[in-house]
């Protein structure tokens, strides 16, 4: 339980617990009147709520909506997801990012089928043990779907709490999670935990935004320490991360008798389970053309001749950026012997859309189709 006399517990010290009830009422009242209509609101299906929460990790609501609709249509219940091919699951996840979410959700569905006959667990320990279910997902699903008194802590909640209570702990510091969790637990409305959790997150998304928050419209402003002191812009406190490295890649689209060579990335790690055109880092003092030839030999065992330069694409990941030169090549000799990729396939250009590809590959796909058709 929170120590209300503790100076570091985030501002409760300056108040008595009496303010909590009116603050709760203000938040839930605001949520009832202002909440957005979203596809996963209004369903009571725990599996649908679970799916939405997974997609919403590190991903904004507007991005998720269309993916959610397609996913639920394809896999309306746990059994449908558990029975699906992982490639079908990844195809529906294509472009959403953080593909381990899809792989873990698929594994979790199989586990729930095997252990619970397809019923989403309403017991904390087993649900939390499932792949892809961490403290946030567990709290969100248990509170929203089952009414359990579990407080969620996500980016929105941390920002809202940091401002209301002037919490100095950095929101991206691993050691400060417990402070926000305890604060959220204390504030949580036990009468309707699911709605209260969503109220705080919705407030963070619509009013208590990262930049240019709408304090005059905020139902919590009269209890907000940062607003009172004019320091809303100083919260939340964040540790700055160093700039990310930039890599130069060469990618080779190899054609052989009208078919193109694609390779499957290993199941784990970056873009795991997605298909791509072979590529890799260009070494120092190496021309992109030489790198393209070398990379194809090393990773697929085949020899090629470079037919033409297609284009250059740039793409940013979370922890590095890439610039890639893309070449169209002709198979010259050799049988495919993979070193790195899990599988390979020769496919006709019109079949490419059946396979999940990373965004970086999609960036040159239209130009590729244009060039190949000539």
Catalytic residue IDs: 53
Partnered with residue 263 across adjacent β-strands are: 276, 344
CA dihedral angle for residue 265, residue 269, residue 270, residue 271, rounded to 10 degrees:
50
Mention every residue, 6+ apart, whose C-beta is less than 8 A from residue 341.
263, 264, 265, 266, 278, 299, 300
**Of 13-42, which residues contact DNA (CB under 7 A)?**
38, 41
Q: Which of 258, 312, 255, 262 is nearest to 288 (CA)?
A: 312
| Shortest reach from residue 179's CB to DNA, in Å | 11
Phi, psi of 37 (to 5 degrees): -85, 115
Query: Does residue 56 touch DNA according to CB under 7 A?
Result: yes
Among 46, 132, 194, 278, binds DNA (CB under 7 A): 132
Among 222, 287, 308, 318, binds DNA (CB under 7 A): 318
Q: Report the alpha-carbon distance of residue 279 to residue 102 in Å, rounded.
A: 24
Length of the chain (residues): 374
Among 22, 76, 173, 334, binds DNA (CB under 7 A): 173
| Shortest reach from residue 264's CB to DNA, in Å | 14
Query: Does residue 138 touch DNA according to CB under 7 A?
Result: yes
Query: Does residue 311 touch DNA according to CB under 7 A?
Result: no
Query: Does residue 201 touch DNA according to CB under 7 A?
Result: yes
CA distances from 12 to 2, 4, 17, 179, 182 (A): 9, 5, 8, 12, 12
- Residue placing its CB nearer to DNA in the complex, 168 or 307: 168
The 87-106 site mask, x for binding DNA (CB under 7 A), equals --------xxxxxx---x--
- Residue placing its CB nearer to DNA in the complex, 36 or 303: 36
Total Cβ atoms within 10 A of residue 298 = 12
Q: Interface with DNA by CB under 7 A: which residues?
A: 38, 41, 52-53, 56-63, 95-100, 104, 130-138, 140, 154-156, 158-159, 173-175, 198, 201-202, 204-205, 210-212, 238, 240-241, 243, 269-272, 315-319, 358-360
């Amino acid at each position: 339980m929170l120590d209300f006399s503790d100076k570091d517990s985030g501002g409760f010290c300056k108040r008595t617990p009496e303010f909590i009830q009116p603050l709760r009422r203000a938040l839930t009242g605001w949520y009832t009147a202002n909440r957005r209509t979203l596809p996963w609101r209004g369903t009571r299906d725990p599996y649908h709520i679970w799916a939405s929460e997974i997609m919403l990790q590190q991903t904004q609501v507007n991005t998720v909506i269309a993916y959610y609709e397609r996913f639920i249509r394809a896999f309306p219940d746990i059994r449908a997801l558990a029975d699906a091919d992982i490639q079908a699951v990844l195809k529906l996840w294509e472009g959403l990012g953080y593909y381990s979410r899809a792989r873990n959700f698929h594994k979790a569905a199989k586990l729930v089928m095997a252990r619970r006959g397809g019923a989403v667990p309403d017991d904390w320990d087993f649900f939390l043990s499932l792949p892809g279910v961490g403290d946030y997902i567990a709290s969100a699903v248990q509170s929203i779907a089952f009414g359990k008194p579990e407080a969620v802590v996500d980016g929105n909640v941390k920002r809202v709490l940091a401002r209301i209570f002037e919490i100095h702990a950095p929101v991206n510091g691993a050691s400060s999670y417990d402070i926000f969790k305890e604060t959220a637990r204390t504030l949580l409305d036990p009468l309707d935990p699911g709605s209260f959790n969503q109220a705080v997150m919705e407030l963070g998304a619509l009013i208590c935004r990262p930049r240019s928050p709408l304090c005059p419209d905020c139902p919590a402003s009269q209890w907000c320490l940062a607003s009172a002191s004019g320091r809303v812009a100083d919260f939340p406190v964040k540790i700055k991360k160093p700039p990310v490295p930039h890599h130069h890649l060469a990618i080779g689209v190899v054609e052989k008798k009208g078919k193109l060579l694609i390779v499957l990335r290993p199941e784990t790690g970056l873009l795991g389970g997605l298909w791509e055109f072979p590529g890799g880092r260009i070494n120092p003092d190496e021309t992109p053309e030489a790198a393209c030839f070398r990379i194809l030999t090393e990773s697929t065992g085949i020899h090629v001749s470079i037919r033409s330069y297609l284009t250059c694409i740039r793409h940013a990941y979370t922890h590095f950026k890439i610039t890639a030169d893309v070449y169209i090549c002709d198979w010259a000799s050799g049988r495919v012997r993979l070193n790195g990729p899990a599988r390979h396939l020769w496919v006709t250009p019109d079949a490419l859309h059946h396979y999940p590809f990373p965004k970086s590959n999609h960036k040159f796909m239209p130009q590729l189709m244009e060039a190949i058709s000539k």
